[in-house]
Structure 1
Amino acid sequence: MGHRGLQGQRVVVIGGTAGIGLAVAEAVAREGAEVVVASRRRESVDAALELLPSGAEGHVLDATDEDGIRGFFGRIGGFDHLVYTAGESLLLESLAESDPTRARRFLDTRLWGAYTAVKYGAPAIREGGSVVLTTGTAGRRPMPGTTVAASLCGAMESLTRALALELAPIRVNVVSPGVVRTGLWRDLPEEDRDGLFGSAAASLPVGRVGEPEDIAEAYLYLMRGGYSTGSVVVADGGGLLV
């Protein structure tokens, strides 16, 4: 199968009610795909459905609940692409100040949640379909305070490559965003957040930080393109270069 659009396909976005996930859901809906979004909070699901076209489905789903994930995929039926963008706000803290319990919880949603979603979702993916996961550039360019984030990113890249072989011919890829203006930075004080965005914009070759819509384009590419699997697509404004 070569290049094709998403018209008439069905795309499931876990974490699809805010940030990058919502931008992906809106983008696939514009392309004529049927979209199913899921996230933990009912109010987030309802708010996303207000923004998405009529016909979009929304489900409350805790990505750390294996029985819930199994039941979710048992209910929704067949689909073409699974996108996983669910995650807590970014965990940035020194090793000395870190809380291992909180670190495990961060990995539970972002790594084990993705793992479990693919385990139970893959059997329902139709011929020619794909999985697109989410990582970040901290695995390739860690900074002090990113031990947990860097560990997650390295794990997601390796998981993607292993799944691409195990699930073939289902294609499995991962998007690696750089600094993006989303709610993931909400735990930083506003002044620190603005400073981070400002310094990132000044240092990046593109001269600005990313927006969710920028990153959504990478997910669209990986869903449409029939010849990419096991790939890490970096969308970071050139951050790895500087």
Structure 2
Amino acid sequence: MTDQQRFQGRRVLVAGGSSGIGEATAARFAADGARVVITGRRETALKAAADRIQARTGRDVEAVRLDAADRAALEDHFAAGTGYDHLVLALGGAEGGGPVAALDLDSLAAGFEGKFWPHLRTLQAALPHLREDGSITVVSAVSARAAMPGTAGLAAINGALEAMIGPLAAELAPLRVNAVSPGVIDTPWWSGVPEDQRRALFDQFAAALPAGRVGRPDEVADAVAFLAGNGYTTGTVLEVAGGAHLAKG
């Protein structure tokens, strides 16, 4: 079976599929033959992502407005569907960063509300509707392990997600549970930073990373597809971070 056929006919839900890593992941699954549903809170952004994926791959994806903070809406969505083979949790969050001495704990709590709890709510609601030998892939972040100053709060959020991967893989087997842990990826997550500052930051990261550059969403999507498609990989956190935890030189 070729890569282009690997997910032929499989149903895949990408939660957080309206931009960035989630959109790239949905496009990868669609190109590989899957029937893909993308969810998110903003209907306009979801439709725009679906249009971009169709233009890129020639395949349609279904865009469903779904707030991962609304447990009742999540349960209604999964109860009304026909089930899924693979679930990707790529729900982003931008709060919780900054030096710990001045870290706003309300911002950190909002960071957990924006990423950790939506991942867990979606996972719980989806479980009865996932194929027994399918997969769940969580998109965390390398801040969980990279020990970068100013990221203690982000490390707490993403570290909490990553700490669950092994226990969930053991508890939910034969359903496979893995995570992809991206480093600095050029996505709309950075859109709040002015262009000149963003380029300067990316240049700094590139100089510090063994890979010599920041990452691309497609590279993370490749890792998600690998974990979903490899039936002998579970309980794994796969880092896609250009060597962020390594000392260069």
TM-score (norm 2): 0.91
Which of 68, 73, 80 in structure 1 is aligned with 2:78? 73
Q: How does 1:77-92 map to 2 (within 5 A)?
A: 77-89=82-94, 91-92=96-97
Give the equivalent residue in structure 1 for 2:39: 38
Q: How far did 1:139 drift? A: 1.5
Tell me the equivalent position of 1:149.
154
Question: In the alignment, which residue of structure 1 is the partner of 2:108?
Answer: 103
Aligned-pair RMSD on alpha carbons? Answer: 1.7
Q: Does 1:48 align with 2:49?
A: yes
The aligned counterpart of 1:217 is 222
Amino acid across the alignment from 1:24 = T
Cα distance in 2 for partners of 1:183, 1:96 equals 28
What aligned pairs does 1:127-146 form with structure 2 within 5 A after superposition?
127-146=132-151
Q: Give the C-alpha shift of residue 90 in structure 1.
A: 5.3
Runs of 4+, deviation exceeding 3 Å? none
1:9 aligns with 2:14: no
* Aligned 8 A contact 1:90 1:184 in 2: no
CA distance in 1, matches of 2:212, 2:219: 14
- In the other structure, the counterpart of 2:27 is 26
- In 2, are the aligned partners of 1:89 and 1:183 still within 8 Å (CA)? no
Post-superposition offset of 1:192: 2.7
Residue of structure 2 in register with 1:61 after alignment:
66
Q: Which of 178, 183, 186 is residue 181 of structure 1 equivalent to?
A: 186
Tell me by how many angstroms 1:117 deviates. Answer: 0.9
Secondary structure in 2 matching 1:23: helix
- Structure 2 residue aligned with 1:226: 231
CA distance in 1, matches of 2:70, 2:103: 24
Larger relative contact order (CA 8 Å, sep ≥ 6): 1
Deviates more, 1:187-196 or 1:148-157: 187-196
Segments of 5+ residues of structure 1 without an aligned counterpart are none
Q: SS state of the match for residue 174, structure 1?
A: strand
- Letter in structure 2 aligned against 1:64: A
Amino-acid identity (%) = 38
- Could you list the per-position Cα deviations for residues 158-186 of structure 1 after superposition, in whole angstroms to 9, with x for gaps in the alignment? 11112111111100000000110011122
Tell me if the contact between 1:90 and 1:185 (Cα under 8 Å) persists in the aligned partners.
no
Equivalent residues of 2:136, 2:176 under 8 A apart: yes
Structure 1: distance between partners of 2:95 and 2:33: 32
1:202 paired to 2:207: yes
| Contact 1:180/1:212 (8 A) holds in 2 | yes
Q: 5+ unaligned residues in a row in structure 2: which ranges? A: none
Q: Distance in 2 between matches of 1:91 and 1:181?
A: 20
**SS of the residue 1:11 aligns to:** strand
Amino acid at match of 2:172: L
| Contact 1:172 1:230 (8 Å CA) reproduced | yes
* Map of 2:121 onto structure 1: 116
Structure 2 CA distance for aligned equivalents of residues 166 and 47 of structure 1? 37
**How far off its partner does 1:144 sit?**
2.3
